[in-house]
Amino acid sequence: MEITTTVVADTGSRHALVTVAGELDILTVPDVRRALIAAVTVYEEAVVDLSRIAFCDCAGLGALISGRNAARRRGTRLHWHHIPYHLNGCCAPPAPA
């Protein structure tokens, strides 16, 4: 299965929608990581739709964490939507400091 990563944003928009679909593994991680980092670098807010992920290994989880860390560094609001059950604890919002 191939990965599909789509970033949708209107011209002049402050928001991006990143949809990740397929198998998120060591072969597809570079595309996903680039899409996430681009979205949180360019836009003030990014929504990541994970509803179409069929599989995610530790490399895929690392890509999601890289996107989250990049968002934190930039001060970008990052929202995870439709988190698969097996990733729920990893993508949950952090506890307040």
Residues present in the chain in total: 97
Q: What is the mean pLDDT of the chain?
A: 83
Question: Stretch 15-30: mean pLDDT, rounded?
Answer: 89
Domain spans, the chain: 4-91
pLDDT band per the 50, 70, 90 thresholds, residue 76? very high
Q: Which fold has domain 4-91?
A: Transcription Regulator spoIIAA (3.30.750)
The percentage of the chain sitting over the pLDDT mark of 70, rounded to a whole number, equals: 77
53 vs 7, residue with greater confidence:
53
* Residue 19, beta-bridge partner list: 6, 49
* Residue 81, beta-bridge partner list: 49
Where does 14-90 show beta strands of DSSP type E?
15-24, 45-56, 77-81
- Per residue in 35-65, pLDDT (tens digit) is 999 989 988 898 899 998 988 999 999 999 9
pTM of the model as a whole: 0.80
- Contact predicate 42/72, CB 8 Å: no
3-state helix vs strand vs coil in the chain, percent to 5: 40, 35, 30
